[in-house]
Amino acid sequence: MYSRLRPFDFERPTSIDDALLTYRQAADPVYLAGATALIPAWRLGTRRQASTVISLAGVLSRFVGRDTDGLHLGAGAPVASVLRKAGSRRDALGDALGLFATPQVCERATIGGNLAWAAPDSGLAPSLMALGSVITYREAGGVERLPVASLFETRGGLALPAGALLTGMIVPAPAPRSASAYVRLTSAGTDGPQVVSAAVSLAFDASGSPWRACVALGNAGPAPIAIEILAEGPGLREFCARALEAALAGASLTSDLTASSGYRRQMLRVVVRRALNAALRRHLGGGHDHEWHRPDARGEWANRTSPDRSERDAAGGPAGSAAPDGGESLMRGRSMRIMHRARRGTPD
């Protein structure tokens, strides 16, 4: 079970530059943020213990603030602080914050640490991916930016240079006519191990038809993944069905002590469907039929037709795949292999 930690060197830099320098000069270093995952993993022996621990306690910004661009988060912001200031959001991030962990863990866990840990079951990554969030990180060459959707290697781990330090993030302000939701399935209670999770963001054009979806998945592969779907066919029901099938096609499910791959596949279908329904419910409000997947659905959206491209352009919607809310940059990122469009129900 738990084992004692081996002796290690402990460094406490006082600035980001100092932290970067310490990392370069140390033998077998690792950054320490909230440590809510790192220390238990070392004690359980599920990750190899490093020889030098570089504490970021006095280095990373704990800022949480909002302006017209969106929600700005310092990488050192505890999840509890973000929850207190942004937990009432009715979107995928608000959902994820409310489900993140127990209050004591939320007080210690940091936004940057959660992403840098690069766990496939990250409680925040799917929501941040679906919402088009962008991180900033520092390396010897200066400050860089990267969409969260491009932050993870498809085989697991971070797609950042060794020693780079994640310093902050911006969650874009919600685009007009958009909605999102996050759904997570755990075993053994609310705070139990995650089976699968899904965050969905939907964008609608001026005529009220959906034109884009981003579905981001947790525990559906070695790293969180995001998949973009653009509407080309008619109808909300077909669009949602294609989003669901694209998500299933993009997943790379495995078995572990929490769930078998077969069970995960079944549950992935459920959580993506629920996330789609929750996002639709937020967009449409109460009293509408959001159960698009039910054959007997009779809601006004069930048979609605999405406009073609020219209609979308005339209505003020996007042209082609150049999504105004950052979708284009997502497609250019390093996760392009897993971010793909679903066309006519056949993900390519």
Positions touching other proteins (CB under 8 A) are 10, 12, 32, 35-36, 39-40, 53, 55, 57, 80, 101-105, 107-108, 190-191
Least CB distance from residue 258 to other proteins, whole Å? 19
User: Which C-beta is closer to other proteins: that of 46 or that of 102?
Assistant: 102
Cβ atoms 6, 39 nearer than 8 A: no
Cα gap 163→157, rounded to integer Å: 13
In 285-307, where does DSSP find H-type helix?
A: none
Residue 105 structure tokens:
């863990």
The enclosing H or E element of 138 equals strand 134-139
- Number of CB atoms found within 10 A of residue 27's CB: 8
- Give min distance, CB of 173 to other proteins, in A: 29
Under a CB-based contact definition with an 8 Å cutoff, are residues 184 and 99 in contact?
yes
Q: For residues 114 and 201, which CB has a smaller minimum distance to other proteins in the complex?
A: 114
Supply the minimum distance, in Å, between the C-beta of residue 28 and other proteins: 17
Q: Tokens 């990122």 correspond to what residue?
A: 333
CB-nearer residue toward other proteins: 2 or 141:
2
Comparison of 84 and 332: residue with beta carbon closer to other proteins: 84
Report the greatest alpha carbon distance in the chain. 65
Q: How far apart are CA 233 and CA 227, in angstroms?
A: 17
Provide, rounded to whole angstroms, the least separation between the CB of residue 5 and other proteins.
Answer: 9
Minimum gap (Å) between residue 123 Cβ and other proteins:
14
- What burial letters (b/e) apply to 183-222, b meaning 16+ CB within 10 Å? bbbbeeeeeeebbbbbbbbbbbbebbbbbbbbbbbbbbbb
Residue closer to other proteins (CB basis): 105 or 170: 105
Strand partners, 179: 202
Nearer to other proteins (CB atom), residue 107 or residue 139:
107
Give least dist CB 239 to other proteins, A: 36
